[in-house]
Amino acid sequence: MNNSIRELTLLQPDDWHIHLRNGDALATTVPHAATSFNRVICMPNLVPPVKNADDARAYRERILHQLADSNISADRKATFDPRMTLYMTDHTSVQDIEIAAKSGIVQAVKLYPAGATTNSADGVTDILACADVFAAMEKYNLPLLLHGEVTHAHVDIFDREKRFLDEVLVQIIANFPILKIVLEHITTSDAADFVLAQGNQVAATITPQHMMLNRNHLLLGGIKPHLYCLPILKRETHQKALLNVATSGSSKFFLGTDSAPHATDKKEAACGCAGCYSSPTALPLYATAFDSIGKIDKLEGFTSRFGAEFYGLPVNTNTVTLINTPMQVPTHYPYFDGSTLTPLMAGETLPWSIKG
Ligand SMILES: NC(=O)N[C@@H](CC(=O)O)C(=O)O
Ligand SMILES: [Zn+2]
Ligand SMILES: [Zn+2]
């Protein structure tokens, strides 16, 4: 690598998997997301969850209200477009799907196996019993977004994603061959290979942490609660495989930060919450990851083209410029009620930053 200043102008990225939360959290999360992204797919695991089109519309209004109140630039305000998801439960009906599909604001339906992750208690208990709902999603071309882990108590946490592929996902795909599916936040080479082996209706998002870090970062030399997310970081071979597919130019893999804020004290605890907060520095993080193996030329497809293509949306027309001027990730951000958020790689220096 040479030492000259390099700049990289990208079509403005979209984040196809983000947790903005609700209430007072929005004052922090919305401007952070809107600074880097145009479209964001807002996860529905609020308390209570976003279960139908009316909930989604009301949630979107709260986000847009917060956007209007924030002091980011008028340009960024104008292009920010939160796209909503429904939280699938055992009670989701075909009618819920029909109404959502026609609402114009619901982009997808999210399935959490019950108990798999943060705020998933209302998730689906018997996925293969949801045939009529999947059929309706197929009919209306509404994608299914998966937290792809089995939840049986006896299955080892490091095996849960692979078991989901073999025991659940193969059956969903076999029964609903044209249903669009995104396997969210993939963590293993098994998941990457699985997605590559499917038709173009199956894609995956990859977070910055899963392509930059592995379980040694989480557990060696002291436990690092801010690197704990679900699905949990895996071994280095998986991390490398994810970085390789993300930078391969395959349009099946695209940006989804899974930025998932939990106040610092809720993570630095005897029973710490799962989730990494990465949204404000996601672009420098991904640029750093791609550049680490000489693949920065593949960044724009991953950040700004493949997700839009998968969802059948136009690519953005505005741009953002990254520059290889180092930046320090803040040690924390103010959150609500006097708490803070500690971001992914807090205090570390990244070689790339956003220009201007
Ligand atoms: N990824 C996480 O570890 N946590 C997410 C939930 C999720 O995406 O699974 C959250 O909402 O906190
Ligand atoms: Zn998840
Ligand atoms: Zn998530």
88 Cα to the center of ligand 1, angstroms: 16
The DSSP output letter for 343 is: B
Counting ligand 1 atoms within 8 A of each CB, the residue from 18, 22, 45, 122 with the most, and so the one to mutate, is: 45
68 Cα to the center of ligand 2, angstroms: 29
Where is the binding site for Zn(2+), in residues?
A: 17, 19, 110, 147, 185, 258
Given the CA of residue 275, which atom of ligand 1 is nearest to it? 3
Domain positions in the chain: 7-354
Class of CATH domain 7-354? alpha beta
State the pLDDT at residue 128: 86
Nearest CA, atom 4, ligand 1: 275
Residues with CB under 6 A from ligand 1: 19, 45, 117-119, 147, 229-230, 258, 260, 274-275
231 Cα to the center of ligand 2, angstroms: 7
Where is the binding site, in residues?
A: 17, 19-21, 45, 110, 147, 185, 230, 258, 262, 274
The catalytic site residues sit at 258
Nearest bound ligand to the CA of residue 164: 2
State the pLDDT at residue 5: 75
In the predicted model, what is the mean pLDDT of residues 199-208?
A: 98
pLDDT tens-digit map of 268-322: 999 999 999 999 999 999 999 999 999 999 999 999 999 999 999 999 999 999 9
Given a cut of 90, is residue 4 above it in pLDDT?
A: no
State the pLDDT at residue 184: 98
Task: Could you list the beta-strand ranges (E) of the chain.
Answer: 7-11, 15-18, 39-42, 81-87, 106-111, 144-146, 181-183, 202-206, 253-255, 319-323, 327-328, 333-334, 340-341, 349-350, 353-354
Nearest CA, atom 8, ligand 1: 258
Where is the binding site for substrate, in residues?
A: 19-21, 45, 147, 230, 262, 274
pLDDT tens-digit map of 328-354: 999 999 999 999 999 999 999 999 999
What lies within 8 Å, CB to CB, of 195 at 6+ separation is 183, 186, 202, 203, 204, 252, 253
Nearest bound ligand to the CA of residue 209: 1
And the tokens for 46? 């609020």
Given the CA of residue 119, which atom of ligand 1 is nearest to it? 11
- Could you tell me the strand order of the sheet in which 353-354 lies? 7-11, 319-323, 353-354
Q: In terms of Cα–Cα distance, which of 253, 139, 270, 243 is closest to 194?
A: 253
Counting ligand 1 atoms within 8 A of each CB, the residue from 85, 230, 279 with the most, and so the one to mutate, is: 230
State the pLDDT at residue 1: 47
pLDDT tens-digit map of 119-168: 999 999 999 899 999 999 999 999 999 999 999 999 999 999 999 999 99
pLDDT tens-digit map of 317-331: 999 999 999 999 999
Given the CA of residue 230, which atom of ligand 1 is nearest to it? 3
State the pLDDT at residue 332: 98
State the pLDDT at residue 53: 98
State the pLDDT at residue 3: 56
State the pLDDT at residue 118: 86
Given the CA of residue 116, which atom of ligand 1 is nearest to it? 9
33 Cα to the center of ligand 2, angstroms: 18
86 Cα to the center of ligand 1, angstroms: 16
State the pLDDT at residue 356: 82
Given a cut of 60, is residue 264 above it in pLDDT?
A: yes
Mean pLDDT, the chain, as a whole number? 97
C-alpha–C-alpha distance, residues 134 and 293, integer Å: 39
